[in-house]
């Protein structure tokens, strides 16, 4: 099953419909009902399937179908052909996170044969690697067209450690429009690059400030909110006042932090920069758009999802991770949610990405214990 899934090139900017069609055909052959949730463009879709009773909520096994690009990476072999050697299965998405999806799908016949009392739901999403928005429509349908789950397990690679917390991330794109003029007479225009540099410096000031606001739990690395400018681009030539500048930036917030603080303070500072620009170029503008909003996952001690995952994984404590997942969207909708899946995040996004066969076996054990739990 993993070989079949890896063979689909589902890099995030491409369609995942061929993979979804394969899964749909497989579920049809097993007699498992499902719902598709296409995106607005119609080139991608999520899928939600229920094994067991359809009149009640059960346990969701949630995984994304998209993968990160391979362009520019030095792979030893074709990244979309699974290769098994030295106790490892190599391929793009093998660990992040088609390994988890493959386990869930491969065990569908076993789930069916178990005559489950509590249903097991499979939820496959898209665009996790770029926006985490591929789960939104499916989540909105839960409790309406779909049963409302009792617990959600997001199978990102955690080496089957039970993860109850991660930071949220918001990404932004700011476009500064100035007015071009000769650099010898700056009073005739307004430099978008100068304004962009001021805005980037303000974001850096906030980043330094947040380093002093440390989380006391000791669970996060780094233990504070981070602000990062990833791209600043603008200008035509050294002796021309730039008429345009773009800034791509992000904020990663601890659970419990105010996610609106940085954009609110940034917007207020941008107004002062814009006022200065308009003294010499009244047509100047500064416009910021939020390009993604991935909520963090906050600890929910004793939740049904946490208790279940700890039993299935054989753990007696939880961890926090630095990366963001779709789990926060489920939690925001009021669904008990945990992150727990086979494989290590250290192998994700790398050339020659892999999952160990040992972790696949451990993941299978996790799934079979879930089966027993839902049969009881």
Distance CA 155, CA 125 (A): 12
pLDDT digits (tens, 9 = 90+) for 315-367: 999 999 988 999 999 999 999 999 999 999 999 999 999 999 999 999 999 99
pLDDT digits (tens, 9 = 90+) for 55-89: 999 999 999 999 999 999 999 999 999 999 999 99
- List strands edge to edge, sheet with 88-90: 83-85, 88-90, 354-356
Residues above pLDDT 90, as percent of the chain: 97
3-class secondary structure, 269: helix
pLDDT digits (tens, 9 = 90+) for 185-233: 999 999 999 999 999 999 999 999 999 999 988 899 899 999 999 999 9
Torsion of CA 113, 366, 356, 61, to 10 degrees: 80
- Confirm if 135 and 329 have CB atoms less than 8 A apart: yes
Distance CA 145, CA 143 (A): 7
Look at residue 293 and tell me whether its pLDDT is greater than 90: yes
Q: What is the mean pLDDT of residues 244-262?
A: 96
Closest CA to 337 of 310, 302, 305: 305
3-class secondary structure, 54: coil
Q: Which domains does the chain have, with CATH numbers?
A: 2-166+296-375 (3.40.630.10), 168-294 (3.30.70.360)
pLDDT digits (tens, 9 = 90+) for 103-120: 999 999 999 999 999 999
**Residue tagged 């805005």 (tokens):** 199
* pTM as predicted: 0.90
Look at residue 376 and tell me whether its pLDDT is greater than 80: no
| pLDDT of res. 322 | 85
């Amino acid at each position: 099953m993993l070989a079949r899934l890896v063979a689909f090139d589902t890099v995030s900017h491409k369609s995942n419909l061929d993979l979804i069609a394969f899964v749909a055909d497989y579920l049809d052959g097993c007699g498992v009902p499902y719902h598709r949730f296409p995106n607005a463009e119609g080139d991608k879709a999520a899928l939600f399937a229920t094994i067991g009773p359809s009149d009640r909520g059960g346990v969701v096994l949630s995984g994304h179908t998209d993968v990160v690009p391979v362009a520019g990476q030095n792979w030893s072999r074709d990244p979309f052909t699974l290769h098994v050697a030295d106790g490892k299965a190599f391929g793009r998405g093998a660990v992040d996170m088609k390994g988890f999806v493959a386990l869930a799908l491969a065990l569908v016949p076993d789930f069916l044969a178990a005559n489950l009392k509590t249903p097991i739901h499979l939820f496959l999403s898209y665009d996790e690697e770029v926006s985490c928005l591929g789960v939104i429509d499916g989540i909105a349908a839960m409790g309406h067209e779909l049963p409302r789950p009792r617990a959600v397990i997001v199978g990102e690679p955690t080496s089957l450690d039970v993860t109850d917390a991660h930071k949220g991330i918001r990404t932004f794109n700011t476009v500064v429009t100035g007015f071009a003029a000769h650099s010898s007479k700056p009073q005739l225009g307004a430099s978008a690059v100068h304004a962009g540099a001021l805005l980037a410096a303000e974001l850096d000031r906030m980043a330094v400030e947040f380093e002093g606001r440390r989380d006391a739990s000791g669970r996060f690395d780094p233990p504070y909110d981070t602000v990062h400018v990833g791209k600043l681009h603008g200008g035509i030539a050294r002796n021309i006042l730039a008429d345009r500048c773009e800034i791509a930036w992000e904020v990663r917030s601890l659970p419990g932090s105010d996610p609106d603080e940085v954009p609110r303070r940034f917007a207020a500072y941008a107004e002062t920069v814009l006022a200065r620009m308009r003294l010499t170029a009244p047509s100047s503008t500064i416009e910021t758009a939020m390009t993604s909003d991935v909520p963090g996952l906050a600890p929910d001690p004793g939740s049904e999802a946490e208790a279940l995952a700890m039993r299935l994984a054989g753990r007696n404590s939880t961890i926090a991770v630095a990366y963001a997942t779709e789990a926060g969207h489920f939690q925001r909708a009021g669904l008990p949610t945990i992150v727990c899946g086979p494989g290590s995040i250290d192998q994700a996004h790398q050339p020659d990405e892999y999952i160990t066969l040992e972790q696949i076996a451990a993941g299978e054990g996790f799934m079979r214990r879930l089966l027993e739990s839902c049969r009881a």
